[in-house]
Structure 1
Amino acid sequence: MDDLRILHEMFKCFRALCCKGPPPPRPEYDVVCIGLTGAGKTSLLSRLCGESTDNIVPTTGIKHTDSPFFYVSTGADNIKKYWSRYYQGSQGVIFVLDSASSDEDLESARNELHSALQHPQLCTLPFLILANHQDKPAARAPNQIKKYFELEPLARGKRWILEGCTVDNMESVKESFGQLIGLLEDKETEPARI
């Protein structure tokens, strides 16, 4: 009986020293996710939330995910004019582009990213730029995207990250989101680059 009582006391001491209760709540951030139609915004965020991507169809209109972390907006031309309504109150931006898209679509993505980086409500926020579909043969590497999008001169002085990704490699996407969270938590950091 004494051994049991000693074990119980040891366990109480262990809990007092090592288990200081539940971890503190993680802060929540309002992050807007934008990009052209077909870039993979819904697929990436669905996979990140542990949902199946088997029956995903292009988002029409505006879609709010269950996670408080994201607002997802479609890239359809008739909806892009409403993107700025979702910028207010955002603390960060995720821009998803299809790195294997046609030259014409890549130019459109470039123009949209330039507009977002210069928008008064977004220009001071951290950006995570995801070059999606890196698993496709025509995919451009992140360094090619950086050069083509002229990110160095355009984003000088801003906090941004450019990463390649694919829906089949969620670990790299999670790492990218971890870097974005780091930028959100540390507002005094130097600008990030690839």
Structure 2
Amino acid sequence: MSECLQLTLCICRIAAYTCFRTLCCKGPPSPRPEYDLVCIGLTGSGKTSLLSRLCSEATDNIGPTTGFSIKAVPFQNAILNVKELGGADSIKKYWSRYYQGSQGVVFILDSASTDEDLEMARTELHSALQHPQLCTLPFLILANHQDKPAARTTQEIKKYFELEPLARGKSWILEGSSVDNMDAVKQSFTQLIELLEDKDQDTGRI
């Protein structure tokens, strides 16, 4: 076999191997970005149940969160480290101590609650949206318990909470939710991840 033919075959083998590596041996995928979120809302809003279901954990015998808990919620393109704060009166006054380091906010409210509790949720959301450590962060607001007959619609919540004037200039999402429709909940969190990615890109351009 001539040297020219041997060289040609060698080049062909290298090209074939390179093509195989490119198509079939891409190596491990790049690590998913992680974002630290704070999750707030009154007791009974369903924070723990929604987060547990997102993590495929059992939701039997779930009780109110005392203090705080942290869950790593995996998504295809990111991991959300969610710090859930208890919503009892004795805990709410300490919420702001846990805001530092947050990159986004999840606020969950009971859309089927009494008018009194809804007004309290409105007050807490207004306070969070204006807090110096949260006011520039992306917000996901979930009007939970949409499966209940007394649930207010997202349009009713938006109007009652005065979200459009309050959150003007901020990145925020308002969606309905319930534990019976986790696909919709996952989609809402996916939208939040997109806002977090956009904020990362904006920060990188500064």
**TM-score, with structure 2 as normaliser:** 0.83
Give the SS at the match of 1:125. coil
Give % identity.
76
1:24 matched residue in structure 2: 30
Tell whether the 8 Å contact from 2:108 to 2:142 is kept in structure 1 after alignment: yes
**Paired residue type of 1:117:** L
Which structure 1 residue ranges, 5 or more long, are not aligned?
A: 1-8, 190-194
Aligned to 2:66: 60
Question: Match of 1:129?
Answer: 141
TM superposition shift of 1:17: 2.0
**Residues 85-96 of structure 1: pairs in structure 2 closer than 5 A:** 85-96=97-108
Query: How far apart in 1 are the matches of 2:20 and 2:153?
Result: 50
Q: What does the per-residue CA deviation read over 1:127-169, in whole Å, with 9 as the maximum and x for residues that have no partner?
A: 0000000000000010110000000100000000000000111
Structure 2 spans left out of the alignment, 5+ residues = 1-14, 74-79, 202-206
Aligned residues: 182
Match of 2:42 in 1: 36
1:138 corresponding residue in structure 2? 150
Structure 1 stretches of 4+ with a deviation exceeding 3 A read 9-15
The structure richer in helix per residue is 2
Q: Which moved more, 1:69-78 or 1:17-26?
A: 17-26
SS at match of 1:163: strand
Output the aligned Cα RMSD. 2.1
Q: Which amino acid aligns with 2:63?
A: V
Match of 1:116 among 104, 118, 128: 128
C-alpha distance in 1 between matches for 2:161 and 2:143: 11
Q: If you compute each CA radius of gyration, which structure gives the higher value, 1 or 2? A: 2
What SS does structure 1 have at the residue aligned with 2:28?
coil
Residue 79 of structure 1 is matched in structure 2 by: 91
